Structure formats: structure tokens, C-alpha cells
Structure 1
Amino acid sequence: MSEAPSSPSSAAGPAPGANSTPGARIIAITSGKGGVGKTFVSANLAAALTRRGQRVLVLDADLGLANLDVVLNLYPKITLHDVFTGKANLDDAVITAPGGFSVLLAGSGMVEYSRLTPEVRNQFLSVIQTLAPRYDVILLDTGAGISDVVLFSVSLASEVLIVATPEPTSLTDAYAAIKVLAMQQKRQHVRLIVNQAARPGDGRAIASQLQQVLDRFVTTESGKPMRLMHLSDIPVDPSVREAVMRRQLLLLQMPGCPAALAISQLAGKVEEALLHRAP
């Protein structure tokens, strides 16, 4: 894999933790490109964490092209758009999804929120600060790529999970996104989830390949290479497509299938690595 071109300066975002809030551990789930299963992972991971006793909120941070409502087969009367425009209270916009976790849906086609204006920034931050004390973990289901809105959403998180598939275009875009997170947000590490893995061990091989490119081209603020931490593989599984087409959570409908078992294992890893805090 060759080095991807440098990111545009407009893709800057604040350093992680700059907008940290007390309460929930905030985890961004993002990707370099769309269509890699990011929202599928977010929703099913939330269900798996809820099953493990965590209080979970999934916030649809893809303000322009939101589809979390589609994945969960929800038809919300109130969305984040209504909160931002003052038409509804925040508490009324938070609803319970199948799987028992809370969701705050953005509503699709929010063109006015596809750019990061100071107003959008402040409104989004206010929502996070209000909700964080009520949960153990908030999963930010971000948009794909390195737009200002995506990077601002990611900057609110203490940890970043980047979802990629083994396809070359996905890996190239994942590398580009990781590079921006290192250079613009001064992150020292991100965690990789490889979706649609064809064989056991594919994810570790992919992480190793990406790490070699990062070692060569990307240096963090500390002077050390950006660390890419392989977190989990989700195998290719026809049950996934079936669940998505039915607009059902895989973890609820086919909990014994290979992909659902992998997501359950992923939840255990997330809980152990990211949610257990020192007293």
C-alpha cells in the first residue's frame, strides 16, 4: 500500500479530550469510507454491551446521511434536528432501541448540518455534556471520511474504533483517516475492527500491513509512530445481510451465527480494554 495524499487543512479537529465530559466513556466508531458496516457494528455492539450490563447510548453523529434509524427499524417522531432547532427537548429525542439501549437519532437529509459551523459545534457539544452523566458508554456512530463534522465528532471521544473491510479502497481510506487523526488530533493510537473478514487471522495481517505504512509515513506528536491496535474481526456471514435487509439487530435475531458471536466477543474486549476504569 502506498501512502495516501495528505488531508486538506479544513479537516482539522480539536485534540481528543479537549471537549471531555464527566460520566460516560465516549467511543467514536468511524471509517475511512462508507459501506463498510460501521452503523451495523455500532448498533449490534451497543446491544452486546447492554447485555453485559452497561448503560449504553448510541448517538447518530452522521448529521447529513444518518441511517441508524433504518438499521434499527425505528421511526422517530423527534430527532436531533428538532432539538437543534428548538422544536423539542433533548429528553424527548432519546428513545429505547431494540436490544435495550438508548438512541439519539439525527434524521436523514440534514443538509444544514453537513458543515461544521460554530452553532453546530456548540449544540452538539451541549448534547454530549447533558447526556454523558447518564450512561456508562456513549457510542458515536459518525459519518465516514474526514469532513469537519466527522472529525469534530471523533474529537469528542476518548477512544476511536475504525471499521474497515479487507478491500483495498477501504484500507486506503482507513489509512488516510488514521493519518488525519494522528496529525490533526494528535492521537497516539486507534483501534481497528475488520469487518467481512474472509479467514481467521485476516484482521491481524491487515493491521500489520497498515502499521508498516504508518511506521513509515506517520509520526505522532510524541515522535513515536501511530499505533494501530487490532481489536476484532467480524467474519463474512450471510446472516448479516439477512438481518440488515430485515432491519433487525443480528445479535437479537441470530445470536448464534458467526458474526453475532464475534460481536459478542468484541463487546467483551471493549468492556475490558476501554470501560474498566481504575477506582
Structure 2
Amino acid sequence: MNTPTTTSSLPLPGTRRAWVLAVTSGKGGVGKTFVSANTAAALARRGHRVLVLDADLGLANLDVVLNLHPKITLHDVFTGKATLDEAVLKAPGGFSVLLAGSGLVEYSRLTPEVREQLQRVVATLIPRYDYVLLDTGAGISDVVLYAISLADDVLVVATPEPTSLTDAYATIKVLATQQRRRLLHLAVNQVAKLGDGKVVAQQLQQVVDRFVSTPQGEAVKLSLAGDIPSDPSVREALQRRQLLFEALPGTAAAQAIAQLATRIEAAAPVSATA
């Protein structure tokens, strides 16, 4: 297990707590939020208590994907205008969400206040759920990296496109060198056919083996959590602002999401303790 960066306000050893998974990507437009939301629905269907926190603090779009219109967001919690309980909403798919705002320039950099507030919110949430998914922003800004540092594990979402893989590699390298992550999960979205993700993961692993290690010289392993095929139903669900896993559960992409959730469940036991 990777060891997240934590502070003393996190639950004490031996207490029940959620498994925190950061869902991130090297570049935007690869389906990171789509994967986060639908994976949460798949985990909820398996009987788990799940919350997705929109950790893309200034450019949030989880509300758009879920067709929600929140009156209270994470910004209101940070500024003391609302409580955390008031901000948490039930989403379609049987999971909970904590939505962020959009166009808020104050969250474009990691200030001490943002660091403290985000850590406090995550620490408060994790005793309440089995899984907390952090839908981070794309790239390697300090805000994104700090959100990832609060997670037990990381799921990097990429597509087979060269630009996406280049940026995914950059993200993996930074997480290995700065956060000493020795294991990173990989989801390859928009593959031409199932099985292509394995080839992509192997190619990316070869590059990582040559050029990336932790500061202690430890090897970094990529674990393929799943590949999701290009599927017209995905665009249809997004245009309708519906979860694919709810609206069209029999499609190839939805079934791939279900398999991805199963692998996450196997890799991240909810009985884990802090």
C-alpha cells in the first residue's frame, strides 16, 4: 500500500475508515470525471458507502456530469458559510458527492488555507464511508498534487493517444519522485477494443522501468485496473447528463467500468485501517 501524506487530525490507528482513491490524469479530456462518477456508482451497487469529492477546486464539472445544481459547494464549506453535512448531496447511482465551484481563481494555487481546509474535509469524511474518490484536476499543479497526497492509492486515467500517454508518464514520474509512490493504478479509456489497454500499460511500464524510480531507487509498478472501449453510449449518456452505469448498464463501456470497480475493490479492502 502506498502511504499517503497525512496529518495528526486523521483517524487514529485501528479506527474504521474509507479507502481514499485519487482519480487523476496528466491532461484534460480523457474521461477522468466520467470514470470517477461511474466507478462510484458501480461500487455503490456492490453495497459500499461511497463519496466522490470534486477536488478540481477551481474548474469543477462533476455537477455537469451528474446533472446536479448545488446551492452549496465545497467553497461554502471552506469559507464557513455552510457545514460539511449541508454540502454533501446524494447523487444518481446511490453514492454521495461533495461538489466544488467553477471559475474560482483563489483555488488555482495551493495556499496554506486551501491546504488546511481540504485536509480537514477529507479527514472528516473518511470515517463515514467505505470509499472516498477524489476527482482531481488534470496535470501536476500544486493543488492537484496535494489532493493526491491525501489518498491511499492513485488511479491514473489515460487514453491511447500519444499526448495523453506523455502526460500520464509525466504525472507518474512526479508522483514517484515527490510522493514516493511505488504502485500506481492505470485505467486506459477509449480503447479501440478490449485488451488494448494491456498493450498500452506494458508500453508505459517499459518507459517507467527505464526512467522512473522513487528517491530510494525503488521500482515503480503500474497496475492495469481496466480498459474502457470507445462506445457511442458514452457520448449519449454524457449529452443526457446521465451516468452510463445507470442509464445503459448493458453496454460494453458500462461493463468495463464494472470490471474496473471490481479490481479496485480487490486492491483496496474497505476493512483497512489508517
Work out whether 1:115 is the aligned partner of 2:115.
no
Instruction: Confirm whether residue 196 of structure 1 aligns to residue 204 of structure 2.
Output: no
Q: 1:38-77 counterparts in 2 under 5 A?
A: 38-77=32-71
1:221 to 204, 212, 215: 215
Could you report, residue by residue, the CA deviation over 1:90-146 in whole angstroms, capped at 9, with x for unpaired residues? 110000000110000001112101110000000001101111100001000000000
Code of the aligned partner of 2:83 = N
Q: 1:160 is matched with which residue: 133, 136, 154?
A: 154
Partner of 1:18: 5
Q: What letter matches 1:253 in structure 2?
A: A
Match of 1:93 in 2: 87
DSSP-derived class of the 1:193 partner: strand
Q: Distance in 1 between matches of 2:27 and 2:69?
A: 26
Quick check: 1:103 aligned with 2:97? yes
Q: Please state if 1:181 is matched with 2:168.
A: no
Map of 2:259 onto structure 1:
265
Cα displacement (A) at 1:277: 4.0
Cα distance between partner residues in 1 of 2:20 and 2:265 = 12
8 Å contact from structure 2 (residues 18, 270) kept in 1: no
Give the structure 1 partner of residue 76 of structure 2.
Answer: 82
**Does structure 2 conserve the Cα–Cα contact (< 8 Å) formed by 1:16 and 1:156?**
no
Seq. identity, %: 69
Moved more, 83-92 or 66-75: 83-92
Instruction: Tell me whether 1:31 sits opposite 2:15 in the alignment.
Output: no
- Give the whole-Å Cα distance in 2 for the aligned partners of 1:159 and 1:236: 26
The separation in 2 between residues aligned to 1:230 and 1:99, in whole angstroms, is 25
Cα distance in 2 for residues equivalent to 1:119 and 1:200: 44
Cα deviation for residue 16 of structure 1 reads 4.3
Cα separation, 1, equivalents of 2:194 and 2:39? 20
- 1:125 maps to 119
- Partner Cα separation in structure 2 for residue 249 and residue 276 of structure 1: 24
- Cα distance in 2 for partners of 1:147, 1:226 equals 21
Separation of aligned partners in 1, 2:270 and 2:124:
22
Alpha-carbon distance between aligned partners in 1 of 2:226 and 2:114, rounded to the nearest angstrom: 33
Kindly indicate whether the alpha-carbon contact (under 8 Å) linking 1:236 and 1:259 is maintained by their aligned counterparts in 2. Answer: yes
Correspondence for 1:254 among 232, 248, 252: 248
Which stretch has the larger CA shift, 167-176 or 204-213? 204-213
Aligned residues: 265
Deviation at 1:278, TM superposition (A): 6.3
Task: State the SS of the aligned residue for 2:174.
Answer: helix
Once the two structures are overlaid, the 10-residue window that deviates more, 92-101 or 199-208, is 199-208
**CA RMSD after TM alignment:** 1.3
- Residues of 1 paired with 2:204 and 2:175: CA distance? 14
One-letter identity of the residue aligned with 2:5: A
**Deviation per residue, 1:64-111 (Å, 9 max, x gap):** 110000000000010001111111111100000001100000011121
SS at match of 1:200: coil
Q: Does the Cα contact within 8 Å between 2:20 and 2:151 map onto a contact in 1?
A: yes
Contact 1:182 1:188 in 2 (8 A): yes
Structure 1 unaligned regions, length at least 5:
1-14
Structure 2 residue 131 is the aligned partner of structure 1 residue 137: yes
TM-score, normalised via structure 2 length:
0.94
> Does 2:220 correspond to 1:233?
no
Aligned-pair CA distance for 1:200: 2.4
